Amino acid sequence: MFYGAEPFDAAEATYYWTGAHKPGFYRITVRGHARKFSSGFRIVLDPHWVGGLAFDVMGWTGPLAEPPATTPYTVVDTFHGTFHPAIVIIGANKHEIVQVEEFPFRAEEDVQKALTDA
């Protein structure tokens, strides 16, 4: 098994405001096709990125099959932090700038409903 960057096809991000003078959180969704026998997909904050926020799409792959058949995957994760209008998603196949959709502060029940509906 190898732990490393995974290829992805599409990514989206929403920032949920949690009130005045409080950091909110990001909800990031990544979809892609990885080699068969891949698992443990995660979105990880890239600590070495300078000038904004970047997230790596990571996972475990192996054994490496020939020919390299793929399987679809979706991974969703949340991260607390201050708002940035765009973030960078980094995968094995590309770097993509993703525009962040803002979800205004509302009652906690509205936020939970929005997360459930998404």
Q: What is the pLDDT of residue 101?
A: 96
First-to-final CA distance of the chain: 32
| Percent of all residues in the chain with a pLDDT value above 70, rounded to a whole number | 89
101-114 as b/e, with b when 16 or more CB fall inside 10 Å? eebeeeeeeebeee
Indicate the number of domains in the chain.
1
Distance from chain centroid for Cα 49: 15
Q: Are 33 and 9 spatial neighbours (Cβ–Cβ below 8 Å)?
A: yes
Q: Phi first, then psi: give them for residue 113, nearest 5 degrees.
A: -65, -45
Q: What is the mean pLDDT of residues 42-57?
A: 95
Q: What is the pLDDT of residue 83?
A: 93
Q: What is the pLDDT of residue 107?
A: 62
Indicate the average pLDDT of the chain. Answer: 89
Q: What is the pLDDT of residue 40?
A: 95
| Percent of all residues in the chain with a pLDDT value above 90, rounded to a whole number | 65
Structural domain span for residue 60? 2-117
Residue 110, H or E segment: helix 108-117
